[in-house]
Structure 1
Amino acid sequence: MTRITYVCQWYSPEPVGIPPSIAQALRAQGHPLTVLTGVPNYPTGRVMPGHRALECRTEQVDGLTVRRTPLYPSHDESALRRILNYGSWALSATAFGQGALRTADVALVYSSPATAALPALAARMLWGTPYVLLIQDVWPDSIFASGFLGGRSGRVALKLVDRFVQWTYSKAEHVAVISPGMATLLESRGVPADKLSVVYNWVPEEDAGPSDENSAAAPHHETLQARVGVAPGVRTFLYAGNHGKAQALEALVRAFMDERTDDAHLVLLGSGITKEGLIALAGEHPRIHFLDPVDRSTAANLIGDANVSVVALADEPLFAVTMPSKVQTGFASGKPLLVIARGDAAAVVDQAAAGASAGPGDVEAIVKAIQTLTSLPALELDAMGSRGRQLYLSQMARAVGADRLSEILNGAGRRRRRKLTAQTQRERNFA
């Protein structure tokens, strides 16, 4: 099996689902794996109890060896403090993580932030340890699309970040991305096509499944319809997640305020900076309901109760090449999707005939998509959900993603071992 050092800035006990899920999936494949990460401080920006910001520490977390290195703790709106957070950990992991990287067959870098590649890049230069990038967010696009940096200093930073990420791509053994559009974008920026693979993120499958499975797991669960006072049998659309600018939910709310959608109800579950404005917009509308955030398992049950799961993204070029986890969650739950987005998220639903899509901000198109999903017979709606679930199981599930990652990492590890064997043989011949 291939010895892997998994480089990711955030890890358990921080509330991040994807990084530890990847680690455990690779461990289940039989790979010896060590995690190189930071002192836990996400999402509050405060170091968690039992840890210190400047500590180097090795511990066991869920059966895995985890090496933590220092960082400047921060997660607020300050660009300077966020740069210090990213940069301080990248430098400390580079300085104090080489022991784990030198002995690995390959490093896997969870590339969000992109600065996480620095310790693996250094290990490649120092010891020849190859690394594989798993790109979650395309930099510098993501940090500038979010308004993280701007002005003249932002333009300078843009050039520097772009040069850095291009360097990391060029030195990587392989680059895995989470959507087809992201692969196309990176290929247009010079990454060879044979160096790129799509590995979709998966979701916590113990919580995902058709609604009858969820009901069996939680027999005392209060249904979504009961929570908001919707009569059984009425088509219920559920948006579950952050209410922020990136989701652009105003058009969705306006579409449900339209009298042409009076056969359907919308439930918005979660919180965020735009929620107050959305509540004011909806007013006392009888078909629009707001729920506060709930824990993960309860949210999975509520998704199982809904007739349609909603995905929404703003009309930004970057979002057209991403695959939000809400798509996988909806597919895994066996629910048809209403996708209000451009690019990959809409394309995968349309191509699978697993729901309906509309452009961001286009109230008229959203109304028509709601009408389509509301007017379908229940059997056809169920068939849409089944097609989405089959797509998830065949292309996006944990077993599929872990196999793809394992194949990529095994290939890099074999090439590394062959080089070391050849080098040893040359040294013996010289002696």
Structure 2
Amino acid sequence: MKILIVTQYFYPENFKSNDMAFELQKRGHEVTVLTGIPNYPEGEIYDGYSFSENREQIINGVKVIRALLLPRGKGGGIRIFLNYFSWAFFASLKARKLSSREKYDAIIVHEPSPITQFYPALTIKKIHKTPIYFWVMDLWPESLEIAGGVKNKLVLNFFTKMVQKFYNESEKILITSKGFKKSILEKGNYEDKIEYFPNWAEDTISSGNLVYAIPELPDGFKVMFAGNIGEAQDMESIMQAALQLKKNTDIKIILVGDGRKMSFVHDFIKEHSLQETVYTMGRFPVEAMASFFNAADILLVSLKDDPIFNLTVPAKVQAYMSSGKPIMAMLNGEGAENIKEAGCGFTVPAGDGGQLAQRIAEAAQKNKEELNIMGLNGKSFYEKNYKMEECISNLEKIISKK
């Protein structure tokens, strides 16, 4: 098939759109990606890219076309708004130009926020009637209200109507979490359009074969959090757990990643003298994750307690499962249920730093064999439910049905 993937984020940015595009190309499909100039998450355009440099590329056989955008900068509300809408505008212009010389069998919209990524795909659909497969990874306008703090009813109603239009225009709505279904159905009768299409882990993590030189880690029972250190991850509760565990110097909490809450973390460590038990490693490429995970005793995942996050299965749950390590989860909803079902770790309610501290202390007392069994349970659950090859095979079936 001739497939167009529309997404604001693509390689060298680290998103599932990369795996999707490269795997579909490897399977013999002709894949084009309409994307932006890479600047996520730091907010600065990556080296080797600019408004005039590398606007069109071939990467692993995939044709990549980059539309202009205003970089995110430091991530303030107005700047992010301009980042979202500037890309949607310029990508729609690119899409119109692209449609004058190309015709596709299917368009896949990969949608972590923002929802406005749908506009360029809609531009092409209006011209060629190309079916759109909308991979919803973030619910709008709920995310705008809860994560973005937008309370204005006129704004929220505007985005609700926008979302309904996009769902109406979609051939299929692909959801990463079964919990998303309720929110989508509240906006219209889309039952026949919804298909479950979960996240997967990168091959570099699930295979565990790639050795990457990482910094030396402290001795002790290593509790590792890897990924975005942002508002949604509830670093406040993690730091409260770390404070309660301060006297247990054998337990080391290791944070691998960066994000908007990192300055809070650094300040908390300094204020409460946690330098001997909490370690911040900084950001590393996805290729380093297998080496980091292998060095950990247990892997930590967390999300704040709110209605949207409770519907979400964080992508790192699949990544952690694939690594064969036990999981410590401070979250509610489907993500916690998956961990319980798999028997691959410990769960505490979202936002409960006190209980998190207790469960970490309990885990540190368990023998290695018990923890290894939990890790293997997670690996087995991942192999049955979340392997990339199976997910992409399912996607091929979905987009070839029309």
TM-score range, shorter chain: 0.7 to 0.9
> Residues 209 and 334 of structure 1 are in contact (CA less than 8 Å); yes or no, is this contact kept in structure 2?
no
Which one has more relative contact order, counting CA pairs under 8 Å at least 6 apart? 1
1:222–1:157: structure 2 CA closer, same or farther, 3 Å change rule?
closer
Aligned residue in 2 for 1:329: 319
Q: Matches of 2:229 and 2:45 in 1, distance apart?
A: 26
Deviation at 1:375, TM superposition (A): 3.6
1:189 counterpart SS class? coil
Deviation at 1:256, TM superposition (A): 4.2
Q: Matches of 1:73 and 1:312 in 2, distance apart?
A: 28
1:115–1:324: structure 2 CA closer, same or farther, 3 Å change rule?
same
1:282–1:399: structure 2 CA closer, same or farther, 3 Å change rule?
farther
Q: Matches of 1:75 and 1:205 in 2, distance apart?
A: 31
Aligned residue in 2 for 1:274: 264
2:14 counterpart SS class? coil
Aligned residue in 1 for 2:378: 388
2:263 counterpart SS class? coil
Aligned residue in 1 for 2:240: 254
1:186–1:322: structure 2 CA closer, same or farther, 3 Å change rule?
same
> Residues 36 and 68 of structure 2 are in contact (CA less than 8 Å); yes or no, is this contact kept in structure 1?
yes
> Residues 202 and 398 of structure 1 are in contact (CA less than 8 Å); yes or no, is this contact kept in structure 2?
yes
> Residues 6 and 108 of structure 1 are in contact (CA less than 8 Å); yes or no, is this contact kept in structure 2?
yes
1:6 counterpart SS class? strand
Q: Matches of 1:188 and 1:22 in 2, distance apart?
A: 29
1:69–1:322: structure 2 CA closer, same or farther, 3 Å change rule?
same
> Residues 56 and 65 of structure 2 are in contact (CA less than 8 Å); yes or no, is this contact kept in structure 1?
yes
1:177–1:51: structure 2 CA closer, same or farther, 3 Å change rule?
same
Q: What code does the residue aligned with 1:94 have?
A: S
Deviation at 1:182, TM superposition (A): 1.6
Aligned residue in 2 for 1:96: 94
Q: What code does the residue aligned with 2:171 have?
A: E
Q: How does 1:201-350 map to 2 (within 5 A)?
A: 201-209=199-207, 213=209, 217=211, 227-230=217-220, 235-258=221-244, 262=248, 264-271=251-258, 272-280=262-270, 282-284=272-274, 286-350=276-340
Q: How does 1:342-421 map to 2 (within 5 A)?
A: 342-411=332-401, 415=402
> Residues 70 and 83 of structure 2 are in contact (CA less than 8 Å); yes or no, is this contact kept in structure 1?
yes
TM-score of the two chains, using structure 2 as the length reference: 0.88
Q: Matches of 1:3 and 1:258 in 2, distance apart?
A: 55
User: More displaced, 250-259 or 101-110?
Assistant: 250-259
Q: Does 1:140 align with 2:141?
A: yes
Q: Matches of 2:274 and 2:362 in 1, distance apart?
A: 25
Q: Matches of 1:292 and 1:28 in 2, distance apart?
A: 33
Deviation at 1:200, TM superposition (A): 1.7
What are the ranges of 5 or more consecutive residues in structure 1 without an aligned counterpart?
416-431
Q: How does 1:140-219 map to 2 (within 5 A)?
A: 140-147=141-148, 149-150=150-151, 154-209=152-207, 213=209, 217=211
> Residues 136 and 173 of structure 2 are in contact (CA less than 8 Å); yes or no, is this contact kept in structure 1?
yes
Q: CA offsets, 1:69-89, max 9 Å, x none?
A: 333344443433333322232
Q: Matches of 2:251 and 2:242 in 1, distance apart?
A: 8
2:138 counterpart SS class? coil
1:164–1:351: structure 2 CA closer, same or farther, 3 Å change rule?
same
1:115–1:379: structure 2 CA closer, same or farther, 3 Å change rule?
same
Aligned residue in 2 for 1:111: 111
What are the ranges of 5 or more consecutive residues in structure 2 without an aligned counterpart?
none
Aligned residue in 2 for 1:5: 4
Q: Matches of 1:229 and 1:260 in 2, distance apart?
A: 15
Aligned residue in 2 for 1:422: none
How high is the sequence identity, in percent, across the aligned residues?
Answer: 26
2:332 counterpart SS class? coil
Aligned residue in 1 for 2:81: 83
Q: CA offsets, 1:91-143, max 9 Å, x none?
A: 23223313545610110001232111112223223321110001121111222
1:377–1:194: structure 2 CA closer, same or farther, 3 Å change rule?
farther
Q: Matches of 1:48 and 1:205 in 2, distance apart?
A: 24
Q: Is the radius of gyration larger for structure 1 or structure 2? A: 1
User: More displaced, 393-402 or 191-200?
Assistant: 191-200
> Residues 90 and 119 of structure 1 are in contact (CA less than 8 Å); yes or no, is this contact kept in structure 2?
yes
> Residues 54 and 71 of structure 1 are in contact (CA less than 8 Å); yes or no, is this contact kept in structure 2?
no
TM-score of the two chains, using structure 1 as the length reference: 0.82
1:97 counterpart SS class? helix
